[in-house]
Amino acid sequence: MKRIAIALLLLPVLVPIPGLAAPATRALEGERDQWYALYSGGTKAGYFHERLEKDGGKWISITEMSLSISRLGQPMTVVQKSRITEDASGRVLSFEARTTMGSMEQKTTGKVEGGKIHLVQMGMESTVDYPEGALGPAAVYRLCREAGLEPGTKIEAVSFLAEAPTRKVVQTLEVGAREKKDVLGRVLLLHAVTVTNSLLPIRARIWVDRSWNAWVMEMDVPVLGRLSMFATEKEVALAKSEPAEVFASSLAAPDRA
């Protein structure tokens, strides 16, 4: 369970960030399919993939993250997958989330009907209230685009998190000035945005273009250290990764015997 807890530490920061995609590769407005190279402490340790597609009047958001870690030389890969279906207003209709870490797996699925979530977690069924005002990823992305990128703009949204469907996660985004940012060797002038949420005291920064498409994301995560993601091609994102050491880096060196 400690291993699963470490994996879940990433979820509230990586998954709900809106517009986590470079210029759309789909023809329809708002659809996209984007890959990211994931770095931990300067080492390429995995990838992040996001796909957003429209199906009639519904939006489907699919994400997958793979992160290779090492604990005193013992490698392990954390894989997180989620799928959220929402209606045109942003209300979630169904969802699925799966986290695997070695031989351990945690799966959550749910359907929303009449303000209630019919939930299945670890094989156990329950019915819980839908988080008031919670929006799916596509709706949060639209909200950001409508708000614009004037420095000082502050956006608050209740984001639905498939991995924690019973929690009301309030996400706050604050727009800063434009900055030059190196995106794997390509220097771009992008808007810096600070992202926080009510679930964990972790602050992330994303650098977005004028359409709120993110090219870079950085955050400091306990144990894992500095995590960075860079928009890139699929082949680069899926290239060989090296496990990031997550135990030795957390040790405190004594200053005396």
Answer yes or no: are the C-beta atoms of 229 and 219 closer than 8 Å: no
Q: Which two tokens stand for residue 193?
A: 């945005």
pLDDT, average across residues 161-182: 91
Where is mean pLDDT largest: 36-45, 85-94, 166-175? 85-94
d(CA 65, CA 49): 6
d(CA 219, CA 210): 22
Answer yes or no: are the C-beta atoms of 124 and 106 closer than 8 Å: no
Answer yes or no: are the C-beta atoms of 103 and 8 closer than 8 Å: no
* 30-77 pLDDT tens trace: 678 889 999 987 889 999 999 989 988 899 999 999 988 877 777 888
Q: In this model, does residue 21 exceed pLDDT 70?
A: no
* 213-238 pLDDT tens trace: 889 999 887 767 788 999 999 999 99
